[in-house]
Amino acid sequence: MDDGTGEDGGARPPERTVGDYRLVRSLGRGGFGEVFLGERADGTLAAVKLLHASWAGDADMRRRFTAEVEQARRVSGFCIAGILDADPEAEQPWIATEYIEGPTLQEAVDKDGPRSGVDLHRLAVSTATALAAIHAAGVVHRDLKPDNIMLAADGPRVIDFGIARAVETTSVTASGVVGTIGYMAPEQLEGARLTSAVDLFSWGSVMVYAATGKEAFSGPTQASRIARILGGEPDLGALPEPLLGIIRTCLDKDPDQRPDASTLLNRLIAAPAEGTPAPAPTSAPAPAPDAEGTTVTPRPDDRTRVGVDRTRVAGDAPPQVDPTRVAPPATVDPTRVAPPATVDPTRAYTGLAAQDGASASVSAPGAPPVPHHSGAAPSGPYHSGHQPVGAQPTGPGPSGPLPSGPHHTGGVPPYHFGGVRFTDPGALAQAFQQDWPSALRVFGDAAERAALGAWIIDDLGDTTVDRALFRRQTTDANLAIASFVAQLRPDLPPVFRGRPASVEALGELFADPAPVLTGAPLANEMALLARPDVLRVMGNHHSGRPGALHQLAEHLGQAERAGIAFHERLRNELAGWVSTRVHVNPALVLAFLLHPERAVPPNDGDKAVAEWVDILWRKVESAPVPDSAGHAAMVYGAVPTLRELARQRRHWEERFASVSAEHDTLLNRVGLQVHLTNAVRYSRWAILALPGSLVLEYALDAPDWIVGLLAVISVLGLIGAISCTAARRVVCGTPARRAHRVMELEHSNAQLPQLTSGVERIRTDLAQARRISEG
């Protein structure tokens, strides 16, 4: 609904001054406040961000905010929107930054399409330069996205840096994790300790969007996007080299493998704009110990790791060998080894030729799995119904010391995972469940997944596991792991991403919906679990409550659809909801399904919002389970919309009351003005009675009483004209002021119907929402 502040909506809200800046108009709203166009007395323009008033009582926030602003002031201003002024101690904290005239990258791509060639390379260099400058000042942006890159006439500028960190560390953060889904790094989504590497991941995602017009980790829902960031491959479209390789390294799941901003900038500067490979780096960084004391050599490109993956144990392989495979001879191309002719080609993925123990490995990045081999080897003991066995450690590890005897039995080549040789897929599935991060690396890499599929399908001849897990591109590696484990080991308790996922465990995790409402890091894990597909897979595990998780999955899907349908009906039938977008959060739905007592109306503290909530909540109370949970989640998701509707209602009603009162005053003043003008006019006509009386007396010899009457009328007219003219001047002002008052009355007459219509639309929406909620 139009709020009445536009050019066609009549009067704008009264002007406001913040510091030295007069707020001209609103530029937009964000997670931390509202941005206005500000103008100083000397004509200087600024983007003035007013932070949420709820921060006013948090002294710790003000201290952090002050420190962050001072730190951000030190960032070189040639490629960012520099900070002009700020007042963390104001009643409503604010910050003024350089006003950049131009569209955001988001707007430019939406309007003109993706960038390519030199334009794309120039954008990459400019934004990388901005990141280098920001990081050099000790600031981490944490919310780099297309909306935070302004395309000025003199080049791109990065905005909104230096605030997120202060906001994130306060106790009053409304959005919990700072960032935008789709451009957040995996460690950011998981609530881990953050470094400047998160900005490099965001930069890579932004460049993919700029080049393709799509997110690198797109998905139909928030949960699917999170899942893809955590365990899926990015969609890089038709990005050309060398930018493709540079961006891929920035999108590495491991923050330690991403370049820093300075290295990124050097690579971009040294690389040609398009068409030819980037020059190789002159020197590689020295290996550095990680948090566990293991030396990891950084990868020179996006796919090849030189050194030992710290999540696996090399066993009896040389130190430089990928521990999931057996190294080929040094003279052979390490990315593709042709096995000896006597070796079953399907065993080239896992390694040992049965005759002489020779090692072979086929691991071309992106290579499709080897077709099914007819000569299936016998499956492991798990398939015979015995306790899972077949895990044979190759070195010290969780399975104990290295045993004696052969590495595999029955001619089945082993699969190496976590420093252990497995000949039984059931035991491997259990190991995957216990070491989920390492399993994620297997399923998140196309070549590794193909190698696993070749071992399962061709070497073992297994018929239990769905072939689609290995033969189709996966965008959700977590769900793929869960499905793999559930198919091979349904006897194991349900676990997802290392978290127990039984009905009882979910009840404990979702007992407090606060993380979902605040956006705390745990909310991302809850979102990944709160999906019908995940619950169905978890329900395939044996439990003391058969079918409970499947039923919960059905209820979750039904409740989510009910919430969406409720919102769609409001959109279709209420004028103020036409352009709204309300997210029905499945995690909140699941929390209400597991704990119906938690489904209480949201309390915003605003009477106008409370009226909307009271009306909509009637739908929650009248709906059966599970629809009521979906309706409740919809109401919670609609709270920002309800706040905006309440703001609009106040604006329209205040404007209506103000214009109505002004109209009544003007009507009275103009009425008096009209009466006095008429009195002056009539008095002037009365003055003409004097010459008339003289004519009657001398020319027509009229009676004296008629002549006397006319004389009196003439004198009274003269007195009236003088007095009414004076009164009109004193009471109604000059002729110009009187004319302006008449124009104001005409303007208010024109405004009143529109304002009346706006107020009536709001009241009609409330009545219609009440009918929908009670129907």
Residue 252 known to be catalytic: no
- Phi, psi at residue 152, to the nearest 5°? -80, 170
3-state SS, one letter per residue, for 664-710: HHHHHHHHHHHHHHHHHHHHHHHHCHHHHHHHHHHCCCCCHHHHHHH
**Measured distance CA(265)–CA(261) in Å, rounded:** 6
**Catalytic residue from among 143, 147, 458, 765:** 143
Tokens representing residue 337 in the block = 């080894």
* DSSP assignment letter at 311: T
Tokens of 627: 């629809």
Structure tokens given for 532: 């019908």
**Beta strand extents in 198-328 (DSSP E only):** 288-289, 295-296
Rounded to 10 deg, the angle between the 117-136 and 261-270 helix axes is 150
Give dist(CA 721, CA 680) in Å, integer: 5
Instruction: Say how far apart CA 256 and CA 228 lie, in whole Å.
Output: 20
Fill in the DSSP letter of residue 623. S
Pairing of strands 16-18, 45-51: unpaired
CA-CA distance, 699 to 707, in Å (whole number)? Answer: 12
Instruction: Round to whole Å and give the CA distance between 253 and 365.
Output: 17
Sequence-ordered strand ranges (E) for 469-569: 495-496, 499-500
Residues 74 and 66: beta-carbon distance below 8 Å: no
For 754, residues 6+ apart whose C-beta sits below 8 A from its C-beta are 4, 9, 10
Does 49 belong to an annotated binding site? yes
Distances in Å between the Cα of 83 and the Cα atoms of 127, 128, 179, 589 are: 18, 20, 21, 42
What residue numbers does the annotated binding site for ATP cover?
Answer: 49
User: Which active-site residues does the annotation give?
Assistant: 143
